[in-house]
Amino acid sequence: MTRTPAEARTPRMVPLARLPVFFALAGKRAVVAGGSAAAAWKAELLAATGAAIEVYTAHPGDEMREIAAQANVTIHRRDIEAADLAGTALAIGAFEDDAEAALFAALARAASVPVNVIDKPAFCDFSFGAIVNRSPLVIGISTDGAAPVFGQAIRAKLEALIPRGFARWAEAAHEWRPRVQALALSFRERRRFWERFTERAVAAPERAPTSSDIDRLMSETRGAASHTGSVILVGAGPGDPELLTLRAVRALQSADVILIDDLVSPQVLDFARREAKKMMVGKTGHGPACKQSEINALMIKLAKAGKRVVRLKGGDPMIFGRAGEEIAACRAAHIPVEVVPGISAAQGAAARLLVSLTHRGDARRLQYVTGHDRDGKLPADINWHAFADPAATTVVYMPKKTLRELSARAVAQGLDSTTPAVAVANATRLDEIIVQGTIADIAERIDADVPDGPLLVMIGRVLSEVVEAQESTVAASSASAAFASLPFAGESIAEIPTYSAG
C-alpha cells in the first residue's frame, strides 16, 4: 500500500502549572512590604533588575538596612498603605500572619499590581523560581512550589553545565543586534549570522567576544544564497530522546521543514523548532508507505524553495535508512546535503542489555543484515556462510515477517541451533520489549509475545549472558512460587516444625 506525505500537526502545549515570563523592570518602581531577611533577599533580587525599590516596614532588619545602603532601595519606616501601590510594577510582601498577607494581596490587586507573598502561595499571582544567572541570559526554574529543593538541585546542575562566559556572549548579542538589523539582511542571512554566532560562543565560551568577531561574522554572512535551501539527514536515535546528539538538536531547532519517518519517537520532536512545518513521510515496513521517489521529490522541491529541510530518520540514517538514495537525489539537483549521525537501534539495544557486541573471545566481527528486501521477502543474496560464522555477532533489522525462514536457513547453513538470540522491540523506549531465546526458537517466542513497533534481532555468543540471566530470573521466580506453596510458607522461623532423624 502507498501513502502520500501528510503534514503532522505540532503537538499542543501540555498543561503548564506556571507560565514562565520575564518582567522588564529597569527604571520601574517595585514595592516590598516587610523588613525580614526574606524580604531583603527579594529587595536585592528586584534591585538587580534596575528597578527602584520602595520598602515599607516599621522594623527593618539588619539585612534590609545593608541592602538599602548598597542598592537602589529606599526604606519607609511605616506600614504600607493603598496609595503606596500606585504606579507600581510588582508588589512583594513578607508576612507571618495570614490576615496581614491577605490584606496586602487585596491592596495590590485593587491597584492592578501583580503580587507575591513570600512562602504563601494562596496569596500569590506569580512565584519566584530558582535562577541561573548569566545575564542577559537568564534561566528560571519552577516546581510550582511542590519541591523547592528539587528546583535548587536542577539549578545546580545547570550552573555546572552552562559556562559563565556565556554572559559575555549574550551581552554581545544584545549590543550587536542593532548593527545586524541595520544591514537589511535576508531572513536566511540573519539566521546564518546567529547560527555562526552561537557556534563561536559554544566553541569558546570563556573567551570574551571582540569587534573582530562581529566583523568576521558579517563577512561570512553576506551573500548567503537566499534562494537555495539545504537538506540535512538527521539520525533521531532508537527512541529515547535523551540519546539525540547535540548536533541533531541544533539541526532540529534550525529547520524550516522536518520530514519525519514513522519510526521516529514522538518525544524527539519536542526538541524541534515549533514554527517548523512537520510532515510524515514514513514507511512502516509491511504497512502503508510513501514511495521513496515521492520523498526525494518533496525534499528537493522544498530545498529549491529556499527551505532548510531536515530529513529525520530513526536510529542512524546511514544504516538501512535509504540515505544513499536521498543523498544522490540532492546531488543530482545541486542541493547542499549533510548527514548528522545518530545512535543506531543496535547500539541502543546493546546498551540497554549491557552487552558488548564485539566482546573479546566471543566475537571478532559485527554484521548488520536487513530482514526483508524491496518485495518484503527474505533477501535472496544473504551471505549464509558469514551468517553462520560462530565468531560473528549478527544484528537483523526489520525481520518480523521473515524471521522464521531466516532462522531455518541459518541453521541449515551451519549456524548452531543453540546460538543465543535476543529480539528487541522499541529499543530504549518506555514500551521496550525484550524476548530471549535461541536462533531455533526466537521466531516462535516473538510470535507468542507479538511485540509492536520497530524490531531487531541480535544473534551470537555475546548474548549468552543475557539469555542465562533471564533463565536464572525465571528459575528464581519458579522457586519462589514453589516455596510459597509449601504448607509452612509465610510462617515465622519459630513456627516452622522441625524433625529429627530416625
Residue with C-alpha cell 520530514? 259
Give the model's pLDDT for residue 262. 85
d(CA 248, CA 233): 9
Residues 6+ apart with CB under 8 A from 175: none
Whole-number pLDDT of residue 499: 31
Contact 381, 374 (CB under 8 A): no
Residue 101 pLDDT greater than 60, yes or no: yes
**pLDDT value at residue 265:** 87
Residue 217 CA to residue 194 CA, distance in Å, equals 9
Determine whether 223 is exposed, middle or buried from the number of CB atoms within 10 Å of its CB (0-12, 13-18, 19+).
Answer: exposed
From 15, 17, 12, 14, select the one nearest 274 (Cα to Cα). 12
DSSP state of 493: G
User: What is the spatial distance between Cα 458 and Cα 103, in angstroms, rounded to a whole number?
Assistant: 68
Could you give the percent of the chain with pLDDT greater than 70?
89
pLDDT 10s digits, 451-483: 678 899 999 999 998 866 555 544 444 444 443
Return the DSSP state at 209.
Answer: P
**Which burial class, exposed, middle or buried, applies to 217 when counting CB atoms under 10 A from its CB (0-12, 13-18, 19+)?**
buried
Mean pLDDT confidence for 331-347: 95
Pinpoint the alpha helices (H) of 222-367. 246-253, 292-304, 323-332, 345-353
Structure confidence by residue, pLDDT tens digits, 386-442: 999 999 999 999 998 999 999 999 999 999 999 999 999 999 999 899 999 999 999
Phi first, then psi, for residue 368 (nearest 5°) are: -105, 135
Q: How confident is the model at residue 2 (pLDDT cuts 50, 70, 90)?
A: low
Is residue 486 pLDDT above 70, yes or no? no
Which H or E run includes 42? helix 37-47
452 contacts 394 by C-beta, under 8 angstroms: no
pLDDT at 469: 59
3-state secondary structure 346-389: HHHHHHHHCCCCCCCCCCCEEEEEECCCCCCCCCCCCCHHHHCC
Which of the four pLDDT bands, split at 50, 70 and 90, describes residue 191?
A: confident
CA 294, CA 280: separation in Å to the nearest integer? 12
Q: Which of 323, 278, 273 is nearest to 302 (CA)?
A: 278
| Closest C-alpha to 352, from 476, 239, 234, 471 | 239
Residue 376, by phi and psi: left (phi above 0), alpha (psi -120 to 50) or beta? left
Q: How far apart are CA 371 and CA 264, in angstroms?
A: 19
Which tens digit of pLDDT belongs to each residue from 297-310? 999 999 999 899 99
- Each residue's pLDDT tens digit, 113-131: 999 999 998 999 999 989 9
Single out the residue of 222, 199, 203, 219 nearest to residue 211, CA to CA. Answer: 219
> What DSSP element (H or E) covers 55?
strand 52-56
The number of C-alpha atoms within 13 Å of 411 and in the hemisphere containing its C-beta is: 16
What is the C-alpha R_g of the chain? 32
Chain centre to alpha carbon of residue 294: 30
- Asked if the model's pLDDT at residue 288 lies above 70, the reply is no
Q: Quick one: residue 306, left, alpha or beta (phi over 0 = left, psi -120 to 50 = alpha)?
A: left
Query: So which residues are the catalytic ones?
Result: 261, 283
